[in-house]
Structure 1
Amino acid sequence: MAWWKLHKRDKPGSPTGAGGAVLASAAIITRDQVRSVVGKGQEWQAQAWDFYRTVSELKSGVRWAANGCSRARLYIGRVDPDGSSSPTPVDAQAEDLSPDLVARLLAPLEELAGGQLGQSEMLRRFSVHLDIPGESYLVGFDDPTSGDRRWLVCSPSEVTSAGGGGTIRVQLPESQSARVELSLDDCTLIRLWRPDDEYAYLPDSPLNGLQDPLRELRGLTSHVLATVDSRLAGAGMGVMSDDVVPASPQQTDGANPVHSDPVTAALIEAMAASLRDRDSASALVPLLLRVPGSVKDKFEWHSFATELDSNLLPLREAAIKRLAIGLDMPPEVLTGLADTNHWNAWIISDDSIKLHLEPKLGLIAEALTDRYFRPAWEALGVPDPEAWACWYDTSDLKQRPNRAPEAAEAHARGAISDAAYLRELGFSAEDMPDEDEQRRRLLIQLATTNPQLAPAALEALGVRLPNIGQGAATDAVRAPVEISRVAPAVEAPARNEPPALPIAASAVLDDGWRMACLDLAARRALARAGNWLLSRSGRSRRGELAHVPVHEVHMHLSPDQADLAQMLDGAYRDFHAATPGETDLHAAVDLYVRRLLLTGIAHERGLLAGHLAAAGCDRAAA
């Protein structure tokens, strides 16, 4: 006998199977129980199905919950001993488990309902059944025609007792006449139900307490339809003075001849006119009668509308609200929420999952674990089956509409993988660059950000450089600029004291246009670095620094020395174009800016002049 049949055998001394564990929401139906449990529907369950088929608001709400459950994913995980978190998936600890153990743990899940696609429909039907009749049946058997294993989620109406001997009759989904009789020795029959609060063996559902609101809502809808179909309620009746001589109705023969009384026959024909043809003008014209004597103003119009008609809309809204409150779902789904927008809609959805969908999914997962998976694992020889469980994953439902900014920051910090980053952006693993493309991008980045490695990177990219004499470059350009926070080469002034200017700097200060150019170059470089720092800060931090000039952001956000080359990339393009050939001056300004960034000191013309003089770049003084 296959393991999937062995798993349902009761242990010695176990009244319920699965080692004597009593779960009030699931049970394996045995021979002794089949006649007392299967097919014993209650009256309210039949009424619940009737309301589900006729009340559109109810069907919409039940399907909302069912569609949400269908998007959950079942998985196998290790149970947390203290219960403080969900079971840890097997995939997350596969390295610590033997491949044989992983295969045995996942085998029942891979078989159940045909895999993940079938399990989605299984969860959907479970949700519908638990919300309407309050119970459902999971039937597993070998198809007698094909021999394939089948799993069916059946409503109580689809499973009946076939008499003695522990045999059941199951309605197959193929057609009305497709039925199969199964012996409990050759199949698995698991019953899941919402336990009644008073008698746990009885099923319960939200519809058990919503009979009156549903009847009221359906009655109001019927009244509206009857009013629409009634010519008297719509057009009314007009009365004119004279003998009662209505227009003679058209005489007809057949199974339903016109009434012998001409007045009654006229009324019947008038009321039936709107039913035969909605577009007929007679549906909008009032019925005309004549009465003896005088009528006030020779004509009177009588309406047959009731006071209920003017209150239909608020009454229906009140009934829908009662229904929405009673169902196991957020009332906003049926009633709507006026102040819902794309900023807070995800919060409502998250609460709906936690309070309405997850308890139902937990009931299903716990029932499957206790009545199907753990007995199956024991039959398959899995050590300590109680340490494992089937659970649900609702991450696809809880995901916020746009988590790209958070994903980008986490990816930059190395907290998530490339595949996870692509998933948050809406791309697949097929969109990832291959190794050759990654190598080319890395070489381009090195060539554009690191002057020392640029020649080698360009050569690796296949770019041939002209043979330029070594004398064209100075040591200041070839050698990297070493910056130290602790002991800078030129003493930086205190933050609140103006720097002392060297004597040679006075000549630079007198050269107004040149100093203005150098001052502008330094400010632009600091502004570029400030924008770089802000772009990598949180939204709240950017709000705090909104009043700070961008070239002073480095006084509040300290950069790392390793990031200086990236944040100053392209900062001196205009400056170098305006001062061609002055490589010593370029290196000195860049050194000055880097020292300001690392020490958090504000830029001042006098400080820049002193730094240039100390570096020997005071052209006027020279």
Structure 2
Amino acid sequence: MAWWKLHKRDKPGGPPGAGGAMLASAAIITRDQVRSVVGRKQEWQAQGWDFYRSVSELKSGVRWAANGCSRARLYVGRIDPDGSSKPIPVDAQSEDLSPGLVAQLLAPLEELAGGQLGQSEMLRRLSVHLDIPGESYLVGFDDPESGERRWLVCSPSEVTSTGGGGTIRVQLPDSQAARVELSLDECTLIRLWRPDDEYAYLPDSPLNGLQDPLRELQGLTAHVLATVDSRLQGAGLGLISDDVTPASPQQSDGANPIHSDPVTAALIEAASASLRNRDSAAALVPLLLRVPGSVEDKFKWFSFATELDEQVLPLREAAIKRLAIGLDMPPEVLTGLADTNHWNAWIISDDSIKLHLEPKLGLICDTLTSQYFRAAWDALGVPDPENWACWYDTSDLKQRPNRAPEAAEAHARGAISDAAYLRELGFSTEDMPDEDEQQRRLLVQLATTNAQLAPAALEALGVQLPDVGQAIATDAVRAPVEISRAAPAVEAPTRTEPPALPIAASAVLDDGWRMNCLDLAARRALARAGNWLLSRSGRSRRGELAHVPVHEVHMHVSPDQADLAQMLDGAYRDFHAATPGDTDLHAAVDLYVRRLLLTGIAHERGLLAGHLGAAGCDRAAA
């Protein structure tokens, strides 16, 4: 079922088609509302589009905001209960969520507008609509020709009501003749608008209060263009004393024949020649006429050009400043800032994002969350859909001073996460090394810095070493494997019939503090091994094991005997520190843990007691 059908399901206790909570700036249009809402345009909205096409400063400002919004990234996150921070992305808490729930949460986002590339264009166009007519429409439907699911962002001019029956006509972006009629029962029509401060059901935009400066800009621009054209219409008129003897112009029978009066015709011909070709001599040489008069009369010259008003340019700058202040954008974008440099430009950028772009993005995300995502999540079976939201990420827009040194120091001290450190360096979490690369780097570091662990690290890296005999470690803390060599070697059994441990389960060991210490040591070692196994499992496998205690993961994931040393590295540090010098006990506990890991048997206190008794470690604590 298409998402625009899923999220139109009626909610219990709500009106039909309501789809849950309704914002004052977003609503799903129903059959009863289509005639009263769709196609209703106010005069200032039509004038706004005319200003947008004719005033270049307005178009530049609106597109600045639209381009900024298009660079934001939409994501799905969990809402902070106290509202002190933005929603936490699903990707950042995937370890705590099952793969099935993650897929359900992200499915509507991946479907919306065809994915991330389509969502960028969707945000750009929504920003333009909110800044000019103040409202926009999201239309979701199944294309009748291709059968594909489509989301369109339409201006009020592109969506009209057909007059009855709950049907709308949508202008498609394919061509001027591409239109489709849709029934509201088979599509979703979401209206998104900036609410008017007095009547919230009416749309509003910055252009609603900028008509006077925009008309002023239009008039001043027209005055300048007319003045420039008047200066280019010939070089004026020169009078010479004599009888009027203008040269007879060449006759024309075209669409604009030459005037019957020879003087008027000569003036028209001279002006037309200069307009057709600015480099023509007619644009530089005045038209000469001979008039009665004595030879002593001076040559007289008349110009047709209109003098440029000295106040035109200051008036235009003042009108542009008024426009810049009224638009939903920093005035410096249109007017410029004389004292801006690369040291303080990032401050302007951050203020622009927080005060101008983020409120608009928040309005869009509120609309998508309330009218689309939550109803779709509810239909998909997501528990508590009100705890999740679609939100925006503007990290790609922000320009900050170089804080890499401070970030490096904080990361080394453990004060910030890897993701925060990468963000300050200009990278994303996708640039982080995967688990295999991290393991390889750790092995290389061990092989180059620790002589005792170098053979094992090189072997794990695939480096073949000459057989010079196995070195025997004598330090029980560093090499618990060698201490347990006295026990018979345990081969990895099959998972179908795990061999029984050669332990007398009926043996009795002191059940006081000493047994508690040994039980805790075994559980910690099994938990460390369980975390190691989980870190090397896929996301889906980790989701399946989310309910399993970490010290019992070995009962569901079969470890490799060759990985036991790395799996239990550092697992007995506290145990050895609490029982110094008791190497036999250390070896017995390590052998017990390894047998549990290879056989997949659960840890029990009685089982541990029997194993230690069989190993001769059942003496009571002194």
Per the normalisation by structure 1, the TM-score is: 0.67
In the alignment, what sits opposite 1:375?
375
Q: Quote the offset at 1:245 in angstroms.
A: 3.8
Opposite residue 259 of structure 2, the aligned amino acid is H
1:90 paired to 2:77: no
In the alignment, what sits opposite 1:57?
57
In the alignment, what sits opposite 1:384?
384
CA contact (8 A) 1:194 1:204 kept: yes
Q: Quote the offset at 1:365 in angstroms.
A: 0.7
In the alignment, what sits opposite 1:225?
225
CA contact (8 A) 1:231 1:270 kept: no
State the Cα deviation string for residues 110-142 of structure 1 (Å, max 9, x = none).
111111111111111100111111111001111
In the alignment, what sits opposite 1:175?
175
State the Cα deviation string for residues 485-531 of structure 1 (Å, max 9, x = none).
xxxxxxxxxxxxxxxxxxxxxxxxxxxxxxxxxxxxxxxxxxxxxxx
Percent identity between the two aligned chains: 84
CA RMSD of aligned residues (A): 3.1
Q: Quote the offset at 1:334 in angstroms.
A: 0.8
Q: Quote the offset at 1:414 in angstroms.
A: 3.7
* Pairing 1:26-65 to 2, within 5 Å after superposition: 26-65=26-65
Q: Quote the offset at 1:369 in angstroms.
A: 1.1
Please identify, of 307-316 and 325-334, the stretch whose mean Cα deviation from structure 2 is larger: 307-316
* Pairing 1:197-596 to 2, within 5 Å after superposition: 197-231=197-231, 235-293=235-293, 298-306=298-306, 308-400=308-400, 402-416=402-416, 421=421, 424-425=424-425, 436=440, 439-440=443-444, 446=449
Q: Quote the offset at 1:70 in angstroms.
A: 0.7
Q: Quote the offset at 1:301 in angstroms.
A: 3.3
After superposition, the Cα gap between the structure-2 partners of 1:153 and 1:3, relative to the gap in structure 1 and judged at 3 Å, is closer
After superposition, the Cα gap between the structure-2 partners of 1:334 and 1:187, relative to the gap in structure 1 and judged at 3 Å, is same
SS in 1 for 2:8: coil
In the alignment, what sits opposite 1:191?
191
After superposition, the Cα gap between the structure-2 partners of 1:284 and 1:217, relative to the gap in structure 1 and judged at 3 Å, is farther
In the alignment, what sits opposite 2:162?
162
Equivalent residues, number: 456
In the alignment, what sits opposite 1:577?
none
After superposition, the Cα gap between the structure-2 partners of 1:427 and 1:271, relative to the gap in structure 1 and judged at 3 Å, is same
Opposite residue 224 of structure 2, the aligned amino acid is V
SS in 2 for 1:309: coil
Q: Quote the offset at 1:18 in angstroms.
A: 4.6
Please identify, of 134-143 and 251-260, the stretch whose mean Cα deviation from structure 2 is larger: 251-260
After superposition, the Cα gap between the structure-2 partners of 1:250 and 1:2, relative to the gap in structure 1 and judged at 3 Å, is closer
In the alignment, what sits opposite 2:153?
153
Hey, what's the Cα distance between the residues in 1 that align with 2:357 and 2:280?
50
Q: Quote the offset at 1:220 in angstroms.
A: 2.2
Hey, what's the Cα distance between the residues in 1 that align with 2:419 and 2:11?
46
Opposite residue 394 of structure 1, the aligned amino acid is T
Q: Quote the offset at 1:100 in angstroms.
A: 2.5
SS in 2 for 1:230: helix
Opposite residue 88 of structure 2, the aligned amino acid is T
Q: Quote the offset at 1:57 in angstroms.
A: 1.4
After superposition, the Cα gap between the structure-2 partners of 1:183 and 1:93, relative to the gap in structure 1 and judged at 3 Å, is same
In the alignment, what sits opposite 1:66?
66
Opposite residue 187 of structure 1, the aligned amino acid is C
SS in 1 for 2:139: strand
Q: Runs of 5+ in structure 2 lacking a partner? A: 466-622
Opposite residue 28 of structure 1, the aligned amino acid is I
1:127 paired to 2:137: no
After superposition, the Cα gap between the structure-2 partners of 1:20 and 1:282, relative to the gap in structure 1 and judged at 3 Å, is same
State the Cα deviation string for residues 265-290 of structure 1 (Å, max 9, x = none).
12211221122112212123333344
Hey, what's the Cα distance between the residues in 2 that align with 1:208 and 1:27?
22
Q: Quote the offset at 1:353 in angstroms.
A: 0.5
CA contact (8 A) 1:227 1:234 kept: no
1:99 paired to 2:96: no
Hey, what's the Cα distance between the residues in 2 that align with 1:412 and 1:344?
29
Q: Quote the offset at 1:458 in angstroms.
A: 12
SS in 1 for 2:359: helix
